[in-house]
Amino acid sequence: MSTLPEAATGHTVSESLKVSSTPASGANPSLPAESEEVAFDIRNFSMWYGQRQALMDVTIRIPARKVTAIIGPSGCGKSTFLRALNRMHELTPGTRLEGSLRHYGADLYGPGVEAVAIRRRVGMVFQKSNPFPTMSIAENVLVGLRLNGVRDKKVLQARLEESLHMAALWEEVKDVLHRPGTSLSGGQQQRLCIARSLAVQPQTLLMDEPCSALDPLATAKIEELIQTLRERYTVVIVTHNMQQAARCSDRTAFFYMGRLIEFDNTRNIFTSPGNPQTEAYVSGRFG
């Protein structure tokens, strides 16, 4: 139980937010419970964009087959963190990292490990839906499978239906599967992207503010969808909407200025957070 190191990055933390009683990484060490399976075992993880340090010494164990929400003010590093979970940050030149990151026990950054293989098991849905415009709805859903060499028409058809069902989109598109992916509404497109990610049967699904570009009705549909994904998939969702985190997730992690401040059951985070910074954020005093 040590004091949060203060001037590590050269900025001062105001007095009212000084932390005194939680471990440096801010994670509740009792979570996940020993009996729970761990999806992501992350220790002392730090990341730099060039000279700027975006993530500082994050240690967290994200449970499997539960929904974990990541919240925090803009610029706190939550998207950066999410993208590190499937090595999407490697698309930006000049990034550097330290620490260890394991997914179901396997080191994601180990020698010889390929990003391509990782992303089949850790899928991602983006803030703005991005179906491929030159492909039909069906082709969009199946593109991941086809890339991996699946040719059997029966298998493809089965997965197509299964994924669209899971994305709660089947009823709406079953008669127009040949239409271009971009002919759907915004909310439908996002569900299409979810179906596309699910079709390759990943173990984990990462979602980067998936509803921020959608209207409330479409958002509600996607939140419903997230509930049904639990128990089958590990879901990690970044959101700036605290009510959404409170509604949808089992665990919540609060990030601030590149650090993990607190990680606990969602209920605790929103009703009785242990950390004053967390409390300040969830009660709307800043962010």
| Of residues 99-118, those binding other proteins (CB under 8 A) | 105-108, 110, 112-114, 116-118
Helix, strand, coil percentages (3-state) for the chain, rounded to 5, are: 35, 25, 40
Residue 131 touches other proteins, criterion: CB under 8 A:
yes
CB of 141 to other proteins, least distance (A): 11
Q: Residue 35: is it exposed, middle or buried by C-beta count within 10 angstroms (0-12/13-18/19+)?
A: exposed
Interior/surface letters 244-270, b for 16+ CB within 10 angstroms, e for the rest: bbbebbebbbbbbbbbbbbbbebebbb
**Cβ nearer to other proteins, comparing 117 with 176:** 117
**Cβ nearer to other proteins, comparing 162 with 279:** 162
**Cβ nearer to other proteins, comparing 108 with 242:** 108
The single-letter code of the amino acid at 141 is V
Structure tokens at 3: 């004091």
Count of residues engaged in binding other proteins, rule: CB under 8 A? 36
Residue 49 touches other proteins, criterion: CB under 8 A:
no
| Of residues 148-177, those binding other proteins (CB under 8 A) | 148-149
Residue range at the interface with other proteins (CB under 8 A); choices 191-199, 215-223, 224-232, 252-260: 191-199
One of 20, 21, 50, 147 touching other proteins (CB under 8 A): 147
The single-letter code of the amino acid at 42 is I
Q: Look up tokens 């698309």; give the residue.
A: 91
Residue 132 touches other proteins, criterion: CB under 8 A:
yes
CB of 10 to other proteins, least distance (A): 30
Q: Residue 165: is it exposed, middle or buried by C-beta count within 10 angstroms (0-12/13-18/19+)?
A: middle
Please list, in sequence order, all residues whose beta carbon lies within 8 angstroms of the beta carbon of residue 165, skipping any fewer than 6 positions away. none
**Cβ nearer to other proteins, comparing 72 with 131:** 131
Residue 119 touches other proteins, criterion: CB under 8 A:
yes
Residue range at the interface with other proteins (CB under 8 A); choices 66-74, 121-129, 259-267, 273-281: 121-129
User: d(Cα 209, Cα 78) in Å, to the nearest integer?
Assistant: 10
User: d(Cα 269, Cα 275) in Å, to the nearest integer?
Assistant: 9
Q: Which residues bind other proteins (CB under 8 A)?
A: 86, 88, 91, 105-108, 110, 112-114, 116-121, 123-124, 126, 128, 130-135, 143-144, 147-149, 193, 196-197, 200
